[in-house]
Chain A
Amino acid sequence: DAASNVHIVNMGQRQHDDPAVVVDSHHNVLASVLGSKKAAAESMIYSYKHGFSGFAARLTEAQAEMIAKLPGVVRVIPNRLHKLH
């Protein structure tokens, strides 16, 4: 989808010690907006599960806005590029 861009979804504090459960929760959040687990799996890029809870996924602006309104989601922001020094 040309209109999809990578967004980073911050879900704040980790709600579970088991990383697998944290990853599952990320897929559930994404699936609730994209409509299916399959769509969530295709869109998901990374799960952040050690330092904080969150994920990076390919989302349209509308989807990003919807996710930002879900409970437990702190912020949804776009990916950016950095340079070497």
Chain B
Amino acid sequence: TTRSWDYLSQSLNSPGNLVNDGNMGEGIIIGILDTGIWPESESFKDEGLGPIPSRWKGVCETGERFNSSNCNRKLIGARWFIKGFQAELGRPFNTTENVDFMSPRDALGHGTHTSSTAAGSLVRNASYKGLALGIARGGAPRARLAMYKVCWNIGGGQCASADMLKAFDEAINDGVDVLSVSIGGSVPFFSDVDERDGIATGAFHAVAKGITVVCAAGNSGPFGQTVENTAPWILTVAASTVDRGYPTSIMLGNNRTILGQALFAGNKEIGFTGLVYPETEGLDTLEAGACESLSLNGTNAGGKVVLCFTTVARRIAVVRAASVVKEAGGVGVIVAKNPTSSVAPCDDFPCIQVDYEIGTQILNYIRYTRSPVVKLSPSRTLVGKPIATKVAFFSSRGPSSIAPFVLKPDVAAPGVNILAASSPFDPFMDNGFAFHTGTSMACPHVTGIVALLKSVHPDWSPAAIKSALVTTASKDPIMAEGPRKLADPFDYGGGIVNPNKAADPGLIYDMGMTDYIQYLCSMGYNDSSISALAQQPTKCPSEPPSMLDLNLPSITIPNLRNSVTVSRTVTNVGPIYSIYKALVQAPMGVEVILRPSVLAFNSATKKFTFSVTFVTTHKVQGEYYFGSLSWSDGIRVVTSPISVQTEIIPSYVDN
């Protein structure tokens, strides 16, 4: 967060932005479902905060190394839920085997990280061993926090649906305004009305009470149809990079200098030393040099830097290679891999990432030089324009596998190499702060922004807030990692979240309980399931309503045959007398007809319903093509992403 809020134009010293207009989230209460919190972190100091909002009904539960004095005017509530998890475990949770605390105290660091990203107080001179130096803070630094610990330190953090449902239930009663949930399931997902999901049903009840629920989209990218937390009442967040990199100099013996990426914070450079690539002879000549199965048998790596190649995107390949090289007495590793922006420290050991092209050039230097040598320098922090924004490789992609008519994810936010507070038990922590990467880190960025929006627009519904964020998000030019391509709505929904524009969207696509029930009926869920979820007797019409007419801030048609007409209703939340004109960017091969194309609002007309007809000219079973529909009054631009797939043969899958 030492860069992400500036990147999102939320600098505290810039008047007229949302963080200042929203009084830094003063008066807003953010609930976090996560691994707990490290209350002594500087990020949770309460200096300058006024009294706890009187509507707050939550508590500060005590437990192992956590008592009521651990709460303050910043951390105003803390609860913990373990019974459902423990029952799944089938035995008592052994907190010695897996360090954790039977209390809201965080061992893993994840909950501390997400909490400080959403609403942490200002901490100056935060860094990871000097890297990413700056002010660490939350998006809404004056908002209050309530931790609902539902995840436990086994296998990277696991959380039971029974516990999560209880946390939602208590948070609703406690009086939170926003809930942040960096948790999810895995394909195949449970339906929106199935309590096993824990999040969709819990979130439904929260949203019904006006509480916005922000969730992580998942880390199963770049594959399509992997996006999680897809219910239309949830605000689902993909992960993008910020304009910050960590160039790390690799100087070859031929005087060529290459800048790789690493979080190597060593004080001294590693002077010219031997450079090797473990090449073997025999049937599989490449196996020895593969980072994930690196074998240095027969390679003298002592005091040298080792080059390896990997096709494994996950960090495990880098970790494994660093460990093997270190064990063999090596002094560094250069990992050639499919380029991704996510880097992580290797315990003060240089593990530098380069792409295949650079890796191949280094390999050629090794192969065709008698005594190859290399010099490695510590990483530097580079911020600003030269660094492009990308949707992260790992960020789960749409379309939704549950309801492809509902565009997911909704928006993207910074979630790569985020420096925020952590627990002392986090192996990546330095002086209270750690870099972490994931849609878990993107989610609380949006949570903080939602808190600010709530502060400015207390009467906006969760759907209105989502609409404002989706329709004002920044789109171009943004690339998506893995493989590199221009990002589309299945990568980032409406785009990269733009807080200042979201504060004044002009028009919103609002929704309420009736719309969500319409969605549930369209999905074919039975009346009793819907009644149970909606907390009201519900009878769906015999002819189910069209899913396409759900008043979403986006239009997704997964099965366009010939033509279809969809309708939307916009509500004017800008100046009373406004005229909006439409601009349509039609998806390739699809004709778009809009009626009307001009909307004139006045004191009597605050809402307009319009229709959009899509006619396909594709003659073959199509891929998705993307476009957009924008309304503009000359100042504001309200853009809905459009995604259309032509369907010639129903239910035919060949991709």
Q: In the bound complex, do residue B166 and residue A48 qualify as a contact, i.e. CB atoms below 8 Å apart?
A: yes
- Enumerate chain A residues within 8 angstroms of B81, measured Cβ to Cβ: 46
- Enumerate chain B residues within 8 angstroms of A13, measured Cβ to Cβ: 531-532, 535-537
Interface string of B197-215 (1 = CB under 8 A from A): 0110110011011000000
Interface string of B432-456 (1 = CB under 8 A from A): 0000001110010000000000000
B165 touches A (CB below 8 Å)? yes
Which of A56, A74, A85 is within 8 Å of B184, CB to CB? Answer: A85
Interface string of A37-80 (1 = CB under 8 A from B): 00000000110111110101010000000000000001101111
Which of B164, B183, B206 is within 8 Å of A85, CB to CB? Answer: B183
Q: In the bound complex, do residue B87 and residue A45 qualify as a contact, i.e. CB atoms below 8 Å apart?
A: yes
Q: In the bound complex, do residue A79 and residue B156 qualify as a contact, i.e. CB atoms below 8 Å apart?
A: no
- Enumerate chain B residues within 8 angstroms of A28, measured Cβ to Cβ: none
Q: How far is the CA of A5 from the CA of B86 in the complex (A)?
A: 11
- Enumerate chain A residues within 8 angstroms of B35, measured Cβ to Cβ: 84
B473 touches A (CB below 8 Å)? no
A10 touches B (CB below 8 Å)? yes
Segment among B2-10, B169-177, B572-580 that sits at the interface with chain A: B169-177
Q: How far is the CA of A5 from the CA of B103 in the complex (A)?
A: 24
A31 touches B (CB below 8 Å)? no
Known: A13-B536, A85-B216. A51 touches B168 (CB 8 A): yes
Q: In the bound complex, do residue A52 and residue B158 qualify as a contact, i.e. CB atoms below 8 Å apart?
A: no
A30 touches B (CB below 8 Å)? no
Q: In the bound complex, do residue B194 and residue A77 qualify as a contact, i.e. CB atoms below 8 Å apart?
A: yes
B110 touches A (CB below 8 Å)? yes
Q: Nearest Cβ in chain B — how far from A53, in angstroms?
A: 8
Q: Nearest Cβ in chain B — how far from A75, in angstroms?
A: 7
Q: Nearest Cβ in chain A — how far from B33, in angstroms?
A: 10
Which of B87, B219, B528 is within 8 Å of A79, CB to CB? Answer: B87
Q: Nearest Cβ in chain B — how far from A72, in angstroms?
A: 10
Q: In the bound complex, do residue B199 and residue A82 qualify as a contact, i.e. CB atoms below 8 Å apart?
A: yes
Q: In the bound complex, do residue A8 and residue B169 qualify as a contact, i.e. CB atoms below 8 Å apart?
A: no
- Enumerate chain A residues within 8 angstroms of B369, measured Cβ to Cβ: none
Size of B's binding interface in residues, CB under 8 A: 61
Q: How far is the CA of A6 from the CA of B43 in the complex (A)?
A: 37
Instruction: Name the CB-closest residue of A to B163.
Output: A46
Q: In the bound complex, do residue B160 and residue A6 qualify as a contact, i.e. CB atoms below 8 Å apart?
A: yes
Q: How far is the CA of A74 from the CA of B538 in the complex (A)?
A: 13
- Enumerate chain A residues within 8 angstroms of B201, measured Cβ to Cβ: 52
Q: In the bound complex, do residue B162 and residue A52 qualify as a contact, i.e. CB atoms below 8 Å apart?
A: no
Q: In the bound complex, do residue A75 and residue B532 qualify as a contact, i.e. CB atoms below 8 Å apart?
A: yes
Q: In the bound complex, do residue A14 and residue B535 qualify as a contact, i.e. CB atoms below 8 Å apart?
A: yes
Instruction: Name the CB-closest residue of B to A58.
Output: B87
- Enumerate chain A residues within 8 angstroms of B194, measured Cβ to Cβ: 77
Known: A46-B83, A50-B170. A84 touches B183 (CB 8 A): yes
Interface string of A7-45 (1 = CB under 8 A from B): 010111110000000000000000000000000000001
Size of A's binding interface in residues, CB under 8 A: 29
Instruction: Name the CB-closest residue of A to B440.
Output: A85
- Enumerate chain B residues within 8 angstroms of A75, measured Cβ to Cβ: 195, 528-529, 532
- Enumerate chain B residues within 8 angstroms of A82, measured Cβ to Cβ: 151, 158-161, 164, 183-185, 198-199
Q: Nearest Cβ in chain A — how far from B520, in angstroms?
A: 14
Q: In the bound complex, do residue B443 and residue A85 qualify as a contact, i.e. CB atoms below 8 Å apart?
A: yes
Q: In the bound complex, do residue B196 and residue A80 qualify as a contact, i.e. CB atoms below 8 Å apart?
A: yes
Q: In the bound complex, do residue B196 and residue A77 qualify as a contact, i.e. CB atoms below 8 Å apart?
A: yes
Q: In the bound complex, do residue A50 and residue B165 qualify as a contact, i.e. CB atoms below 8 Å apart?
A: no
Q: Nearest Cβ in chain A — how far from B171, in angstroms?
A: 9
Q: In the bound complex, do residue B186 and residue A83 qualify as a contact, i.e. CB atoms below 8 Å apart?
A: yes
Q: In the bound complex, do residue A85 and residue B162 qualify as a contact, i.e. CB atoms below 8 Å apart?
A: no
B84 touches A (CB below 8 Å)? yes
Q: In the bound complex, do residue A83 and residue B162 qualify as a contact, i.e. CB atoms below 8 Å apart?
A: no
B85 touches A (CB below 8 Å)? yes
Q: In the bound complex, do residue A51 and residue B183 qualify as a contact, i.e. CB atoms below 8 Å apart?
A: no
Q: How far is the CA of A85 from the CA of B194 in the complex (A)?
A: 21
Q: How far is the CA of A23 from the CA of B533 in the complex (A)?
A: 18
- Enumerate chain A residues within 8 angstroms of B198, measured Cβ to Cβ: 80, 82
- Enumerate chain B residues within 8 angstroms of A50, measured Cβ to Cβ: 169-170, 172-173, 205
Q: How far is the CA of A45 from the CA of B160 in the complex (A)?
A: 12
Q: In the bound complex, do residue B202 and residue A81 qualify as a contact, i.e. CB atoms below 8 Å apart?
A: no
- Enumerate chain B residues within 8 angstroms of A45, measured Cβ to Cβ: 83-84, 87, 162
Q: How far is the CA of A21 from the CA of B245 in the complex (A)?
A: 57
Which of A14, A58, A74, A83 is within 8 Å of B183, CB to CB? Answer: A83
- Enumerate chain B residues within 8 angstroms of A10, measured Cβ to Cβ: 195, 532
Q: In the bound complex, do residue B156 and residue A84 qualify as a contact, i.e. CB atoms below 8 Å apart?
A: yes
- Enumerate chain B residues within 8 angstroms of A48, measured Cβ to Cβ: 165-166, 169
Give residues of chain B (514-536) contacting chain A, Cβ–Cβ below 8 Å.
528-529, 531-533, 535-536
Q: In the bound complex, do residue B443 and residue A81 qualify as a contact, i.e. CB atoms below 8 Å apart?
A: no
Instruction: Name the CB-closest residue of B to A45.
Output: B83
- Enumerate chain B residues within 8 angstroms of A46, measured Cβ to Cβ: 81, 83-84, 162-163, 165-166, 169
Which of B161, B182, B536 is within 8 Å of A8, CB to CB? Answer: B161
Q: How far is the CA of A45 from the CA of B172 in the complex (A)?
A: 19
Q: How far is the CA of A79 from the CA of B81 in the complex (A)?
A: 14
Which of A5, A6, A12, A49 is within 8 Å of B532, CB to CB? Answer: A12
Q: How far is the CA of A10 from the CA of B439 in the complex (A)?
A: 30
Known: A51-B168, A52-B205, A79-B162. A85 touches B185 (CB 8 A): no
Query: Beyond the given A12-B531, A50-B170, could you list 18 further A-B residue pairs with CB under 8 A, ordered by the A residue number?
Result: A6-B88, A8-B161, A8-B162, A13-B531, A50-B172, A51-B202, A52-B205, A56-B83, A75-B532, A80-B161, A81-B160, A82-B158, A83-B155, A83-B184, A83-B186, A84-B438, A85-B217, A85-B440
For the complex of A and B, the 10 pairs showing the least CB-CB separation, nearest first, are: A51-B205, A84-B157, A74-B532, A56-B162, A85-B216, A85-B440, A12-B532, A50-B173, A6-B87, A80-B196
Give me 8 A-to-B residue pairs in the complex whose CB atoms sit less than 8 angstroms apart, sorted by A's number: A45-B84, A51-B168, A74-B528, A75-B528, A80-B190, A82-B161, A84-B34, A85-B218
